């Protein structure tokens, strides 16, 4: 079913909208949530909460990119759950991926100014736009969708070591790009 048809079901307040969303994006959303919360029960609860959030926000909104809209809700709710559960001693894929990116941002880097944050987002977007499609996909899978190295390697038909090396090189490129753009790392 097309996204616009699923959104129309939400506007009609048809419960079938949730079923169709789960059929089309459930696997992706569960992968995102599992990468962050690293617990199947918590992930399922996040997914259920996400479907409720989508139900409660459509209408009045009509998202242009339904997939991104749903994934953002799942990611945000997963991050809330992660924060809530952070007392756990385990390191999940999300925490590992944040540690990997720490070198790009610099230790203790904090951006309080909303204008500076917006400019940094635009700069990183330009960097991603300059990457090859394959490298951009690998980067986003790791740092946006919180995929494990194993998942990335399998999807791209490469070894885990190759995936790790590619991500390392992309992070180094990002670090150089940010320095070139005037960010003090």
**Across 92-107, average pLDDT:** 59
Yes or no: say if 38 and 87 are a contact pair by the CB < 8 Å rule.
no
On the question of pLDDT at 180 being above 60, the answer is yes
Question: Closest Cα to residue 164, out of 96, 107, 114, 67?
Answer: 96
Query: pLDDT tens across 114-155, in order?
Result: 667 678 778 888 998 999 999 999 998 888 877 888 989 999
**How far apart (Å, rounded) are the C-alpha atoms in residues 132 and 130?**
7
Q: Where are the domains of the chain?
A: 3-85, 93-180
Give whole-number Cα distances, 3 to 61, 69, 71, 87, 106, in Å. 14, 11, 13, 38, 39
Q: Is residue 77 very low, low, confident or very high in pLDDT (cuts 50, 70, 90)?
A: very high
**How far apart (Å, rounded) are the C-alpha atoms in residues 93 and 146?**
6
Is 3-85 a CATH 1.10.8 domain?
no
Of 184 and 40, the one with more pLDDT: 40
* CATH for the stretch 93-180: 1.20.140.160
DSSP states of 3-48: HHHHHHHHHTT-THHHHHHHHHHHHHHHHHHHHHH--HHHHHHHHH
């Amino acid at each position: 079913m097309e996204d616009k048809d699923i959104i129309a079901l939400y506007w009609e307040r048809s419960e079938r909208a949730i079923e169709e969303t789960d059929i089309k994006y459930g696997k992706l959303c569960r992968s995102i949530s599992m990468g962050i919360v690293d617990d199947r029960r918590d992930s399922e609860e996040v997914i259920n909460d996400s479907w409720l959030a989508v139900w409660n926000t459509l209408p009045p909104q009509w998202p242009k990119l339904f997939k991104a809209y749903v994934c953002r809700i799942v990611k945000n709710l997963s991050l809330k759950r992660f924060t809530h559960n952070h007392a756990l001693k385990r390191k999940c894929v999300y925490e590992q991926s944040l540690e990997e990116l720490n070198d790009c941002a610099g230790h203790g880097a904090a951006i309080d100014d909303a204008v500076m944050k917006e400019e940094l987002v635009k700069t990183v977007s330009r960097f991603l736009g300059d990457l090859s499609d394959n490298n951009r996909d690998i980067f986003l899978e790791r740092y946006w969708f919180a995929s494990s190295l194993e998942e990335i390697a399998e999807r791209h038909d490469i070894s885990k070591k190759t995936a790790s090396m590619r991500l390392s090189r992309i992070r180094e490129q990002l670090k150089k790009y940010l320095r070139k753009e005037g960010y003090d790392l």
